[in-house]
Amino acid sequence: MEKAIELIDVRKHFNGTHAVRGVSFEVLDGETLVLLGSSGCGKTTILKMINRLIEPSSGVIRINGKDILGQDPIEVRRSIGYAIQGIGLFPHMSIADNVSVVLRLKGWPEDKKRDRTGEVLDMVGLEPETFGPRYPDELSGGQQQRAGVARALAADPAILLMDEPFGALDAVTRNVLQQELLKLKQTIKKTIVFVTHDIFEAFTLADRIAVLHEGRLQQIGTKEEIISAPKTEFVKDLLLRPIEQLKDFKEAH
């Protein structure tokens, strides 16, 4: 399988604070890699560096074998789908207009833009005729998040970056969207980098998991590999938490 994304000894510091410390990994074409770790471990910073929203202090990031620092940052961003927890929908624009923003920036003709917008809204379970004309404040949190994913998919990017996209939702809605994303993965065949601090979400969605702590990569592998052979004390502690949560739940019920 080809490497879709490659990070080599990537570092990022902000005014002397080291957010990412020599991280190296690769994401294979069509793979879902979940970046897992607690707040402040560098997950979102890594995602933003892949998307060139911020630049690395040192190291190399390649997409499809090409160093992204040698490319136009705007073109890099427009070629990658990006979905975030805050959704980022423009409140003054309809859902259809929100979804088609990148298509408009790319200069797609009106009929093609309209057809693609309807297609991706359908894809995420939002009926275009019903939801396209509505505004973000007329949608539930889960529907807004679906619209955010539709916008990330609109230009049919090969790579999709997702930064805790379901983090602000209630547990039931979150579980529904996780299951829908799993189904969508089988249809769209994208390379996905998904950020979460929730180990259950990581185990549900990932082909492989990269565990991060204090800006360093602790371990990368399948959930089976991480469960059977945790490589650091942090990874061991991370795995103990859900076991304790399950014990507490069983005792309470």
Is the pLDDT assigned to residue 210 strictly greater than 90?
yes
The total number of structural domains in the chain stands at 2
Report pTM.
0.90
Are both 142 and 99 inside the same structural domain? yes
Q: For position 248, what pLDDT does the model report? A: 57
Are both 166 and 245 inside the same structural domain? yes
Is the pLDDT assigned to residue 249 strictly greater than 60?
no
In a domain, 84, yes or no: no
Of 45, 164, 36, 154, nearest to 96 by C-alpha is: 154
Q: For position 142, what pLDDT does the model report? A: 87
Are both 21 and 37 inside the same structural domain? yes
Are both 69 and 170 inside the same structural domain? yes
Of 160, 180, 158, nearest to 169 by C-alpha is: 180
Mean pLDDT value of segment 62-76: 93
β-strands 80-84, 159-163: how paired? parallel
Mean pLDDT value of segment 122-138: 94
Query: End-to-end CA distance of the chain, in Å?
Result: 46
Are both 72 and 32 inside the same structural domain? yes
Are both 131 and 194 inside the same structural domain? no
In a domain, 45, yes or no: yes
Q: For position 112, what pLDDT does the model report? A: 95
Q: What's the length of the chain?
A: 253
Q: Tokens 């570092």 identify what position? A: 11
Q: 85-123, pLDDT tens digit by residue?
A: 766 789 999 999 999 998 998 899 999 999 999 999 998
Q: For position 189, what pLDDT does the model report? A: 86
> Distances from the Cα of 119 to the Cαs of 38, 43, 190, in angstroms?
36, 31, 16
Are both 73 and 96 inside the same structural domain? no
Mean pLDDT of the chain: 90
Token digits for 125?
Answer: 């379970």
Mean pLDDT value of segment 166-188: 85
Q: What domain range is 30 assigned to? A: 1-79+159-177+187-253
Mean pLDDT value of segment 137-147: 90
Report the 10 Å Cβ neighbour count for 88.
Answer: 13
Are both 242 and 149 inside the same structural domain? no
Mean pLDDT value of segment 157-163: 93
Q: How confident is the model at residue 168 (pLDDT cuts 50, 70, 90)?
A: confident
Is the pLDDT assigned to residue 253 strictly greater than 50?
no
Is the pLDDT assigned to residue 188 strictly greater than 90?
no
